[in-house]
Structure 1
């Protein structure tokens, strides 16, 4: 009985490093996949290229991802998580005004496009062709967070119609930021500025009494 009690904890202790190593290996494979997407494009990503770029065997890739689509979906999920974390940091900060919050959100989006490899072409995977399965649109995921923040920080209430208008406004910004990075790794400032201008205009229409915003600095 005593021998069994001393053996059991060692199994638990050994299990955690194995999980940690697996997580690190998956991250390394996704880093390699991001590099392949940047260099060759989404259409040309293969599990073989991922393995080669990661310095791993093809068997290692298949241990975690059954095919190239699974790699792209996992990479898209990681991209989405990084965008969400960037926007969460903005919403947690004590911005001095609604306009400053919006400008900070735009800055977080722009930084994600610039700093996260593969985000320009893959984003959160909304455009992936997954057959009968489709990726959920990204914009509605953030509307609730933004509306909740504006309510808690400034007491702004949104009814269903205003929430729908907010979703459209953020969607327009998202489309313009995406287009700004389509052919420009730094983001075409013309579209970034237009996106910020239109978003501020729409918010002033949605939220009565919202003051004019200063010129955004993407």
Structure 2
């Protein structure tokens, strides 16, 4: 049985290559100049998404690799076709070195950039999980905690909640509902109970004279015996 390649932690949440992207990579190998604008359009269309950014650098790197091979094949079959075998081989080797600087070196740099963005998104995905463990499921609250725009948080979680390496769930009414987590009704009850606890009367002991006073508000009040300020905090 064929062994699967180990997946690095930073690549854990990387998007899978779609059929359309496979066509782009194959096309860049066969007719690179024709597919260049399509790949660039795809890159800028997807770049704003946190989860797709590293993946788009991977496609750009594949495009550069495809262009490198395309030019070499074109030169071998057409440009240098009139030369004898030794001259043809020598010209191809020289061209390969020159093109390697122009295409392969940038492709290697793009691979490092891809790894960097994948690592950043992996850390962000773990931050989302941390919010779930803290009992935070509302998108607005999660966005405030992870310091991301609300629209980005929604995009990220819509993607992650369907990913095989993340917890499964859905987003409903601005709240994340995990398959193994609390329901929307339970979350609503928790919020109501929390609000109710804030408004319930509390007995507070005065630090000045020791007298106990019932406070029915979260605003500071004066002790009726010594005038000290009392609050429920």
TM-score calculated relative to the size of structure 1: 0.27
Max Rg structure? 2
Higher helix share: 1
Higher strand share: 2
